[in-house]
Structure 1
Amino acid sequence: MGLDRIALLGTSADPPTRGHQALLEQLIKRYDQVVTWASDNPMKQHGASLPVRTMLLKALVEQLNTNNLQLVQDLSSPFTVITLNRANQRWPKHDLAFVVGSDLAAQIPSWKEADQWLCRCKIAVAHRQGWPLSETVLAELSAFGASVDVLDIDIPASASSEQRLDPRSEKVPTAVWPLLIKQKLYGLAPNLC
């Protein structure tokens, strides 16, 4: 019997969008387990606190309602090297794949201690519409020693940054929208909706 394949997906979830939903739906079809968490990205300004973003992501996980998807918030760190160390301690005998969108793939070599962890990590890259993945980026990741798997999935062009500026119910998962209103996030309020 082979090792369980676990997809690891950290996200700012600021807020979770239909793009996050589509990615999780595709990952749960391809991996034995999918683990997600909300995190602070040191390269971004966040519109909501980490506990609030965790609550929003939890609502999406519960909406998807499948046994092979879980929120494991204690993996959260602003730094991938710390997250991966935690994941390897938690699942030492599993085949772990760190999932990123094609919009982030070119940034990975500049992340904290990338030269230390890329050679020990499998990277799974999901194509995000509007963000092509170049052979140069793949070659650079491979030069760091990373094992890169380009996933045969296409994630809709749905950005959290756009939702923070102009929230629209059709761009946000069904379970998340009422929480945005209740928490009065991103300029929403019950009387505006």
Structure 2
Amino acid sequence: MRAGMPKAGKGQVVGLLGGSFDPPHKGHVHVTREAMKRFGLDRVWWLVSPGNPLKAEGPAAMERRLVAARAIMDHPRVCVTDIEARIGTRYTAETLAELQRLYPDVRFVWLMGADNLASFHRWDKWQQIMATVPVGVIARPGQRMGARMSRAADRFAPARLPIREARSLGRVDAPAWCMLNVPMMAISSSEIRARGDWKRH
């Protein structure tokens, strides 16, 4: 394995939380801890992305976001990584394919907020993503209904696990997904930027 790449043991279940983290905040930390506990994950990797293909404006410098993320997410089983920049992928489907090639003995779970599930059909190769790894969805304030009525939820309705089976998500074969309703922190990166507490440049 190349230097600087995250580590995971054989057979471990690793949750992947992707995003620009521009900036990272306590809501990301809360989602990570809840996902680790409720989905039975051995580790979580924060995939700090070079940029979101669905957003016109680029994020703050990668190194700045990495430093901020590592400062706020202090947990022995969570790794903050720029692996997408290292392996040269930009789209989630590409990233997952490359991670599975690099870590053939690791079981990955893609983590997302319910707001992402509501617009998931806009993602590149979204059906391929669902067919590649199990997906863990964390409900955020005001987004539960939109997620339940989403095109992705409808298309993969037969693959949805009941909440009582959430901890087995990483041990079942894709397609499989589970949505948890958990108390959330009403905070977002866009709100923090709007307040002027985080400058991109």
Indicate the TM-score class for this superposition, using the shorter chain for normalisation.
0.7 to 0.9
Deviates more, 1:46-55 or 1:154-163: 46-55
Once residues 99 and 115 of structure 1 are traced to their aligned partners in structure 2, the CA distance between those partners, rounded to angstroms, is 15
Residue in 2 that maps onto 1:73: 82
Instruction: Kindly indicate whether residue 21 of structure 2 is the aligned counterpart of residue 13 of structure 1.
Output: yes
Instruction: Summarize the alignment of residues 28-177 of structure 1 with structure 2, pairs less than 5 Å apart.
Output: 28-29=36-37, 30-39=40-49, 40-44=51-55, 45-61=57-73, 64=74, 66-76=75-85, 77-133=89-145, 134-137=147-150, 138-142=153-157, 146-167=175-196
Once residues 189 and 155 of structure 2 are traced to their aligned partners in structure 1, the CA distance between those partners, rounded to angstroms, is 27
Once residues 90 and 50 of structure 1 are traced to their aligned partners in structure 2, the CA distance between those partners, rounded to angstroms, is 23
The superposition leaves residues 154-180 of structure 1 with CA deviations (integer Å, 9 ceiling, x where unpaired) of 332211001101045xxxxxxxxxxx5
Q: Alignment partner of 2:193: what SS?
A: helix
Q: 1:117 to 1:25 in 2, by over 3 A?
A: closer
Shift of 1:7: 0.6
Shift of 1:47: 4.4
| Amino acid in structure 2 at the alignment position of 1:98 | W
Shift of 1:31: 1.1
- Count of equivalent residues: 168
Once residues 135 and 46 of structure 1 are traced to their aligned partners in structure 2, the CA distance between those partners, rounded to angstroms, is 30
Once residues 153 and 92 of structure 1 are traced to their aligned partners in structure 2, the CA distance between those partners, rounded to angstroms, is 31
* Contact preservation (8 Å) 1:37, 1:57: no
| Amino acid in structure 2 at the alignment position of 1:89 | R
| Amino acid in structure 2 at the alignment position of 1:136 | M
Which runs of 5 or more residues in structure 2 are unaligned? 1-9, 160-173
Shift of 1:146: 3.4
Percent identical among aligned pairs is: 22
Structure 2 length-normalised TM:
0.72
Once residues 10 and 156 of structure 1 are traced to their aligned partners in structure 2, the CA distance between those partners, rounded to angstroms, is 18
* Contact preservation (8 Å) 1:109, 1:141: no
| Amino acid in structure 2 at the alignment position of 1:27 | A
The structure whose residues are more often strand, as a share, is 1
| Amino acid in structure 2 at the alignment position of 1:75 | E
